[in-house]
Amino acid sequence: MLTMTQRQNNIVSSAVVAGVIILFLAFILTGLTGIFKLPEKANAGSLQQFKDYGQLKKYVAEKARIASFVQGLPYGGGGIMVNGGRVAEDLAGPVPTGSKLRNESGAQSMESYKSMKAPASEFSTTNIQMAGVDEADIVKSDGKYLYVLAGKKLVIARAYPADAAGVLSTTGIGGEPTGIFVRDDRLVVFAHDFNRPNSSLRTSVFDLKDKSKPKLIKEFSLTGASYITSRMINNYVYLIAYMPTDLNLPSGYFGQELKLPEIVLGNKKVITVPAGKIKYFKDEYYPAYRYSLVTTLNLNTLLVSNEVLLTGLTQEVFVSQNNIYLTSPGPGNVVPLMEKYLNSLALAVPGKTGEKIKALSQSAHSPAEKIIEVEKLAGEIKGLKLDEAKMARLN
């Protein structure tokens, strides 16, 4: 069995194939096989870490501006086009109808007690992708008890034997519960809290030694985060979420403050993830950046740790017993396309404006600085008729 430290060191490398980045926790570069002919080697490069907050903010601002500019070119320039991401499913729901659960009361005979000590020899488990890798759900069973998220409540009921079935406890969870894990005497529940001004993704751990009175023993929240998915491997729970950087608008890039990920512990202590702990791929450009967070919870020690990556929209997730794979669509390095556009624009626009664009294109300015300067210029290309919609965009 891997130790907690070893598991956290299994963090992400990548392969970019056909505009998709594959991030996985083993620092192994890989290619994809299938019906498409794909390159043998990845071109995303290795993971890097930011030196400080200033470098992180500059990186996000400049790369996002370039990506927004290039993606807007087919539509007349400007504007952000963000690829649609996967919306986390809200798994919370009511108790299934037709339930025959009843309140448990009265003394049990010794014979009946003995028959209830052992779980059923066969029982259904949650549908999972990979053996040994559990997935959160709204209903869990250990063969003897049922653990059910019913709206904003956690219901624990005896399910076996059938003649002793009954509700043992109902515990308020609050927020919008998403899913649960159960292992031995520990239960983990995830829930979104939509309290203004900041929403958060909350993780709560309950001790189930006395199932009639579940005891909250650990709680923490990720400020502003949204649930993507989660897995449990042995005693480790992995929560995968995303968090906006709050630096996604084309105007004011260099005046806004970039948000850093925050973890709020049960005692309201706020821990901010430093910029120097955030990992990224050097030559990836997104019009909107997000933090992809992989939070690890050790159910034995209740210790929590985080790995944070700067990515685009995290969409699909696959988890094996050794690796976590995250996909994020991206255009790759768009600088060559931007440079080609500026060179073509310099040739198309006559006079001093064209000369300025050519000089900018050949200058040592950063790509983002070139875009800022070009957007300040005005020129005329003869022979092109603008319709009302195009003129409105120039207003």
Tell me: pLDDT of 8 over 90: no
- How many angstroms separate the CA atoms of 172 and 156, rounded? 12
| 52 has a pLDDT exceeding 70 | yes
> For the ranges 227-231, 316-320, 345-349, which has the lowest average pLDDT?
345-349
Residue-level pLDDT at 73: 58
Residue 358 has pLDDT above 70, yes or no: yes
More confident residue, 29 or 199: 199
Alpha carbon of 100 to those of 118, 145, 149, 276: distances in Å?
A: 21, 14, 17, 54
Which of 158-172, 227-241, 258-272, 331-345: highest mean pLDDT?
227-241
State pLDDT tens for residues 144-169. Answer: 999 999 999 999 999 888 888 899 99
Q: Model confidence over 261-277: pLDDT tens digits? A: 999 998 789 999 999 99
Name the region of 73 (left: φ>0; alpha: ψ -120 to 50; beta: rest).
Answer: alpha
Instruction: Render the burial of 1-36: b for 16+ CB within 10 Å, e for the rest.
Output: eeebeebbebbbbbbbbeeebbbbbbeebbeeeeee
Residue 11 has pLDDT above 70, yes or no: no
